[in-house]
Amino acid sequence: MMTETDKRSTGQAGGGSGGQAGATPSSAPSTVGDTSGNAMMGVTRAVAVLRLIGAAPEPGLRLRDISEALSMHKTSTSRMLSTLIGLGVVDRDRNRCYRISDDFRASFGTPLTTTRLRQAARPALGMLSERLEDVAFLSVPNGLDSLCVSRNIGSYPIQALSLNVGGRRPLGVGAGSLALLAWEQEEERNRLIEMQRGRLGKYRVEVEDIAAAVEQARADGYTDLPGFVVQGMTGMGIPVRDPSGVVVGALSVAAISERLAGSRRDLAISALREAAAMVEAQLTAGSGRLVDQHESDGRDGEAV
């Protein structure tokens, strides 16, 4: 039978006063739980930061923008961004704007040229939205999808804003997405079309519709999809090639269908061809300074 002295002695040996060697069984799970909770909170915040930066227009977001958008303390936000930069996930430019790094995008199948492509396409997007007064998009291939990486809004009161920056669509669904698919090599093109089976449930198209649209686009040299995705809206698109001839992106415009018919349809085709040539010329310029022949009005890439 244990005496009161023995009980006190045992309690002290278990860390009753010192505490370090004698965490009681009931206190241990609490410590582990707190650590786990803090870690989970850190992961949650990091993902929120990445989502916010990833959806932002060029040239990226400043520290204050991120801190205010996520209701995080500026110091905590700065520490997290520094960690993400150290991991190679986020870049910061000389203007202190943060964006997702090319290396991180590449790990998910987004080409390393995405940032340069966005820069090269900025004047072309500005030209398209100004000349046509409707919204213009830049999309890139990303696995089985197309990914919208930039957008420029026109001045016409009714804009066909059916696609946001960061928005994805199955390859072949939408004018820009179809332009990315249509000029793939035949074997790869057929494989990608077939792999869309079962992925089109939320859209009003079937695999056979995409295959037919591909053939028409290749014959025309551009995509023209009246009411293909959204009833009453038309999209038109054209591929953009890198200096080696590989399709790395697509430019497209969207509007209510009556605005892309008749003479305005011809105007859109001409503008898209000119825009693609502008982007390809910028890409061919290589590492030299990008010549901004037609400055965007600053409304490109507005995530909604």
pLDDT digits (tens, 9 = 90+) for 105-155: 666 655 545 778 988 999 999 999 999 999 999 999 988 999 999 999 999
Domain count, the chain: 2
Q: Among 27-31, 72-76, 192-196, 207-211, where is mean pLDDT lowest?
A: 27-31
Distance CA 3, CA 9 (A): 10
Residues 136, 55, single domain; the answer is: no
First to last CA, the chain: 74
**Is pLDDT above 80 for 61?**
yes
Q: Among 2-6, 41-45, 135-139, 177-181, where is mean pLDDT lowest?
A: 2-6
In a domain, 1, yes or no: no
User: What are the backbone angles phi and psi of residue 237, rounded to the nearest 5°?
Assistant: -145, 170
Confidence of residue 33 (pLDDT cuts 50, 70, 90): very low
Residues 100, 150, single domain; the answer is: no
> What pLDDT, on a 0 to 100 scale, did the predictor assign at position 7?
43
Residues 208, 264, single domain; the answer is: yes
CATH number at residue 156: 3.30.450.40
Q: Count the Cβ atoms, other than its own, within 10 Å of residue 125.
A: 29
Which residues share a beta bridge with 100?
A: 90
In a domain, 3, yes or no: no
Q: What is the dihedral of CA 74, 77, 78, 84, to 10 degrees?
A: -170
Comparison of pLDDT for 289 and 52, the residue scoring more: 52
Asked if 236 and 260 count as a contact pair (C-beta separation under 8 A), the reply is yes
Residues 198, 142, single domain; the answer is: yes
Residues 99, 137, single domain; the answer is: no
In a domain, 304, yes or no: no
Asked if 285 and 291 count as a contact pair (C-beta separation under 8 A), the reply is yes
Distance CA 252, CA 233 (A): 13
In a domain, 24, yes or no: no
Residues 222, 104, single domain; the answer is: no
Residues 100, 122, single domain; the answer is: no
* Residue among 140, 178, 157, 87 at smallest CA distance from 279: 140
| pTM score over 0.85 | no
| DSSP string for 36-100 | HHHHHHHHHHHHHHHHHHHHSPTT-B-HHHHHHHHT--HHHHHHHHHHHHHTTSEEE-TT--EEE
**Between β-strands 247-256 and 233-241, what pairing exists: parallel, antiparallel or unpaired?**
antiparallel
Asked if 57 and 165 count as a contact pair (C-beta separation under 8 A), the reply is yes
**Is pLDDT above 80 for 292?**
no
Which residues share a beta bridge with 136?
A: 152, 253
Please report where in the chains the tokens 């006063």 appear, as a residue.
17
**Is pLDDT above 50 for 67?**
yes
Q: What percent of the chain has pLDDT over 90?
A: 48
CATH number at residue 83: 1.10.10.10
Distance CA 234, CA 247 (A): 23
Distance CA 130, CA 271 (A): 10
Q: What is the mean pLDDT of the chain?
A: 81
Radius of gyration, CA atoms only, the chain: 26
> What pLDDT, on a 0 to 100 scale, did the predictor assign at position 113?
57
Residues 218, 240, single domain; the answer is: yes
Beta-strand ranges (E) seen in the chain are 90-92, 98-100, 135-142, 145-152, 168-170, 223-226, 233-241, 247-256
In a domain, 257, yes or no: yes
**Is pLDDT above 50 for 291?**
no
The token pair at 235 is 């999209």
Mean pLDDT score, 33-45: 73
Confidence of residue 188 (pLDDT cuts 50, 70, 90): very high
Q: Return the half-sphere exposure (C-beta side, CA atoms, 13 A cut-off) of residue 29.
A: 2
Residues 201, 219, single domain; the answer is: yes
Q: What percent of the chain has pLDDT over 70?
A: 77
Mean pLDDT score, 4-24: 43
| Residue 43 belongs to domain spanning | 36-108
Mean pLDDT score, 42-71: 85
Confidence of residue 12 (pLDDT cuts 50, 70, 90): very low
Residues 63, 143, single domain; the answer is: no
